Structures are given as structure tokens and as C-alpha cells.
A and B are shown apart, each in its own frame.
Chain A
Amino acid sequence: MSLAETQQTTARHIPDRLTTPLARTLKSWESLLLLVAIGIFILNSFASPYFLNAWNLSDATFNFTEKAMIAFAMALLIISGEIDLSVASIIALASTAMGLVMQAGFGTPAIVATGLVTGLLCGAFNGVLVTRLGLPSIVVTIGTMSLFRGISYIVLGDGAFRGYPSDFAWFGQGYVFWVITVELTIFAILAVIYGIVLHKTNFGRAVYAIGNNATAATFSGIRVERVKFILFLLTGLMSGLASVCLTSRLGSTRPSIASGMELEVVTMVVLGGVSILGGSGSIPGVVIAAFVMGLVTFGLGLLNVPGIVMSIVVGALLIGVIALPRIYQNLRRK
């Protein structure tokens, strides 16, 4: 049931994964996804006359930039065989902490630092519980999901923090150049950094190695627990960063902020071709998945589809994306 468990039972399938045509399917997953993205883009431009407008498209990027920031770190975490379901609650807690600092009269630098540090601390808390105490990450983060958001509710109740300083709005509402938002720029920079870290460094190799076989990774000299702890730290930090952007964009903090976002982040990662069982996946896949999800939600929004119906689409995407390759595989076996 926990990821590690499932991984052990399915570990025997890995060799035939490499030889069956599924490997090729997975290899072309990114290109398939890119085709889907282009298809949705064309459909959208037919569906609504308001779609093909630089400013509207720039607004559309807000649908995925904050989630994608977390999705990069989450991709690494899931590849390593763990998961963090508390990310949306970390956003809530970090946003609440920023609100408290803002009320105490501190300026933007202190507010931003508070958001990032809170995220880091939450990630460290998850990381310690998982790596030091050896608890399954799914249960730990289901627990901290309630705990972190619960603390926000204790602080805020049914109230809200408002009145962030005007220069704080830059993160979520500012533009770097023409229609290129600050958030989109952060997203692009992070995409490059995470791509290099995962695909070009020893650390990235270690993440794959752990996800495929943690025991073998240990025996080849990888400090498994430390790598996992760093990944939890990173996920927390990215959630803190997303919290800064989201709080800045909304201009207020409520304890219900970003609720349900963990699902969308996990969906984005899985849609990007990362195996939920760990061991495989790529950053380019996650980047394209972010665009696909952003385009889908924006297109549905232009067609006046309510948010909860979009969540059906997200839920169906999550299951469908994992189910389809398996159905395909089953059919091929017969």
C-alpha cells in the first residue's frame, strides 16, 4: 500500500518493462503529450474567440505556474518512491505565517523569507518523520496535511489576513517583460534548474536509483535517507515559494487557501509521465503536463465550466493517464 511496499511487489516487472513496447510508449510519452497540448491549444482557439490573445494567454499561465513549481520537486520525490500530500497545507501554513509577520509590521523581504522558511520547516518535519522514524510517507503527509492546515485554522478561524504591502504584489501580479509574468519567469528558471539536477547530476542519478531499488542504491554507496530528506526539504521549499506567489496574487490569506491543490500537483506529475511507483519520469514531461493542465482549465473556464466540474476532469485525468498504458499493455499481452 505504501509506495515502498507496492514498489517491492512490482520490482520484478521492471526487466520486462525495458524490453516490451511499453518502454517505447513511455519514451514517446513526452511527444505524445506535446501533441495533446497542441491539440488542446487549437481546440481552444476554435472554442472561444477570447483565447488567442496575448494577455489572456498570459493570465492562463497562472492556472499552472504555482502548481508546477511544486510539481518539479514532487516529481523528484515521487521518482524516489515517496510522496507528499501535505503541499497544499504547507501553502496554507506558510501563507498564515506570512500574514502574521505582515501584521507585525515587517516589510516584503521579511514576509517572503517567512514564507520560504515556513515551507522549509514543514518539509523538514515531513522529512524527519519519514527518514528518521522510518514512517510511510503517505500516512505522515496525510497527517501533516491535517496538522498544517489545522494550525492555520487555529490562527485564523474564519477570519483572513489582508493588507499586504503593495510591493509584495510583485510576485503574483508583476510582469518582467511585456506579457511575461514574474511567476512564469520563476517557473521557467525552475524548470531549467530541476531539469539539470535530475538529468545531468549525480544527485539526479541517485534519485532514480533509489526509486528503482533503494536497497541496491544503499549498497552502491548512495545515502538514501539523506537524499530523501533533501527531497522533502525541496518540496517544502517549493510549497513555500508557491505560497509566496499565491498569497501575493490573491492579496489575502484564508485558512482554506489552495485546498485540494495537492491532488492537482500529483496529477500534473503523473500526467507528465512520472511513474507513481517511482523510478522513472522526466522534467520535460512535467513541463508539458503543466501546460496541458493549464490549457485545459483555462479552456473550460472560457466555456464557463464551473470549477468543481474541472476537478472531475482532473480526477479522471489522474486515473485515465495511469490506466490507459495499463489497458494497452493488457491488450497487447492478449
Chain B
Amino acid sequence: MTLLKSREAILVGAILLLLALVASRFPGFVTPSNLVAVFTDTAPLIILALGQMVVILTRSIDLSVAANLALTGMVCALINVAFPGVPVPVLVALALGLGALMGAINGFLVWKLTIPPIVVTLGTMTIFRGIIFLLTNGSWVNSHQMSSAFKAFPRENILGLPLLGWIAVIVTLILGLVMSRTTLGRAFFAVGGNPHAAVYTGINVGRTQFLAFVISGMLAGLTGYLWVARYAVAYVDIAGGFELDVVAACVIGGISIAGGVATVAGAVLGALFLGIIKNALPVIDVSPFWQLAISGAAIIIAVTFNSRAGRSKGRVILKSAEHAQ
């Protein structure tokens, strides 16, 4: 447990170091207003990383989140164009529901047909994106077609932070409560830590994984509306490849891809780390084309680091066991 705590401390240190490095050359980057902007920009990644965390915790992976986001976002945009009078809260509820439905499809295939999650979500990833094309024939929904209330919602400023940022904070708090204070949260850890033992304690492993996918899908759907409203455009390829950033954020946050090890703080910090890098690149005059390679390298370095940490932990336990005998 101390190791996990130190892991987050390392991440906080790394983030502070990163900010200090950028600030040493561009002090404007660490002004409160810019930090708020960076946080808001990272909010979608934080929300998605939290959903992905739950899925990875239960020994699964959800590669369809970006496609889910794009499809939900497009449906919200199309509804807004067709019926501009539909109030935003209804749209948000619809986004949550539609996202959850897509997550449920993934979860159902994993639970009832025991198809490996990677295969299911690779497949649904292309299917969801293809459906956007079928809905729109490849055309875009542009800013001028959307109602102003639709676009204003994520930008609504409350106490200096846009609503998009607040939603990330709220989702973090809710998931923090779910993971630490509910039986469902314990079930996620149990299923990831040892599925066989989980069965003996009366936990339905498949159903728990199903619920993890529903949570991930629901958050992806929510992000879908927020994304489309914030950038005021919807097309087939929005957030293309974003699922890799989401997985990267989780892996950087110390979430074990083998399942069973995850913290809410880790997911948030991992997302913030990537978000700060992404926002700092243009400031320090590095081409945005570096972004993809940096995400990839970050995944590999983080997963190497994680496995090392896990391994030494294992050795320590063995040693103490030997000493005990």
C-alpha cells in the first residue's frame, strides 16, 4: 500500500517537475488562468481514464471508448439540429444512456459469450464509427447548426472553472466514493485481483465486468456530448485514436493492465500528466506531430516501470514469508 502511495507521490513529483521545466522558460504557462485552461482541456481525458480504470481493474480493456464518444456526440448533435428545443439536461441524460447502452453491448459480449474484451472492443470500435458514417453519410455538423444553449453548456463558468472541468471533478469524486465505499467497488478489486477467489466469495465475475463496461460506456457517452459541444463540431473521425491516450493515462497512473491494481488518484494524475505534456508541446515549440510518439513511449515506459515495481513487491513478500518460516 505504501508502494502505491509512493507511486502517486512520484507522479505528483513528475507533474510538478514538468510544470517547473516549462515555467522556467515560459512563466505564463503556470498562471492560474492557464492552469485552469489546461485542466479543462484535460477533463475529457480524465473522465474517460476513470471509466477505463474500472474496466482495466477487472482484467478487461475497452478500446471502443473513443468511437462510443464520437457516436454519442454525433447523435446529440443531430438531435440538436433536428429539435433545437430539446433542453440540455435531456441531452446529457440521453448521452449517458446511449453511452451506457454501447458499454452494455461490450459487456454483454464479454459476460455471456466470454469473448476476450480486446476482440470485442476492437470490433465494436469499428462498428460504432461505421454507424456514424451510416447516420450522416460522412457529412459534418457544424457550429452554426447547433443551438447556442447546446454549445454553452460545457463552457458555463462556475467559480472560475468551466462546467466541463467541474464535471471531471464530480466524476472523480463519485468514482472515488464508489471504489472505496461500496460493495460494487470492492467487487471490481476482487474480480481483478483473483477471479476464482471472487467467485467463492459470491461475486458474479461476468456481471461485475459487465457493469465495468457500462460505467466506461456511460462516461464515454457523457464525454461525447461535452466534446462535441465544446469543439462545436461533429464528424466521423472526432477523437480518432483517443482510446490509446486513455489507456496510456491509466498505465501511467499505475493501473496494472493485468487487473487488480488501480487507484482513482492514479487515473486522474496519469491523465493530467499526458494533458500537461500535450498542452506544453506547442508552448515549447515542438510540433504537435510528436504527440502520438510521446503517448506511445509513455505507455511503454510506464508499463515497464509498473512491472518492475510489481516484481520487486513480489520478491519482498516472498522474502518475508521465507523469514517467517
Interface contact B304-A153, CB-CB below 8 Å? no
A57 lies within 8 A of chain B by Cβ: no
CB contact under 8 A between A276 and B119, given known A142-B299, A143-B300, A319-B109? yes
A32 contacts B by Cβ under 8 Å: no
User: How many angstroms from the CA of A2 to the CA of B259 in the assembled complex?
Assistant: 9
A109 to B296, CA, bound (A): 31
Collect the chain A residues with CB atoms within 8 Å of residue B120's CB: 319
Q: How far is the CB of B48 from chain A (nearest CB, A)?
A: 15
Write the nearest CB–CB distance from A90 to chain B, whole angstroms: 12
In chain A, what residue has the closest Cβ to B56?
A1
The answer to whether B59 and A1 touch across the interface, beta carbons within 8 angstroms, is yes
In the bound assembly, the distance between CA atoms of A138 and B118 in angstroms comes to: 9
Q: Which residue of B lies closest to A2 (CB)?
A: B258
Residues A146 and B293 in contact in the complex (CB < 8 Å), given A2-B258, A5-B259, A319-B115: yes
B292 with A153: CB separation less than 8 A? yes
Is there an interface contact between B236 and A308, defined as CB atoms closer than 8 Å?
yes
Contacts of B196 in A (CB 8 A): 9
- For the complex, is A169 an interface residue (Cβ under 8 Å from B)? no
The answer to whether A5 touches B59, judged by C-beta atoms less than 8 angstroms apart, is yes
Neighbouring A residues of B257 by C-beta, 8 Å: 1-2, 136, 138-139
B307 lies within 8 A of A145 (CB): no
Q: How far is the CB of A324 from chain B (nearest CB, A)?
A: 9
Instruction: Choose among A308, A319, A322 the residue that contacts B129 (Cβ–Cβ < 8 A).
Output: A308
Establish whether residues B119 and A146, one from each chain, have CB atoms under 8 Å apart when the complex forms: no
Is the pair B293, A83 in contact by a Cβ cutoff of 8 Å? no
Which applies to chain A's interface (DSSP): helix, strand, loop or mixed?
Answer: helix
B72 within 8 A of A: no
Contact residue among A158, A260, A319 (Cβ-Cβ distance under 8 Å from B119): A319
**B126 and A135 form a contact (CB under 8 A):** no
Tell whether B61 is near chain A: CB-to-CB under 8 Å.
Answer: yes
Q: Which residues of A contact B247 (CB under 8 A)?
A: 139, 142
A-B pairs with beta carbons under 8 Å apart, 16 shown: A1-B59, A1-B117, A135-B303, A136-B303, A138-B61, A138-B257, A142-B244, A146-B293, A147-B292, A150-B292, A150-B295, A150-B297, A153-B292, A263-B126, A312-B126, A319-B109
Residues of A within 8 A of B (CB): 1-3, 5-6, 9-10, 83, 129, 133-136, 138-140, 142-151, 153-154, 157-158, 255, 260, 263, 266, 270, 276-277, 306, 308-309, 311-312, 314-316, 318-319, 322-323, 326-327, 330
Top 10 A-B pairs ranked by shortest CB distance? A150-B293, A146-B296, A147-B296, A312-B130, A143-B299, A150-B292, A315-B126, A1-B59, A319-B123, A143-B300
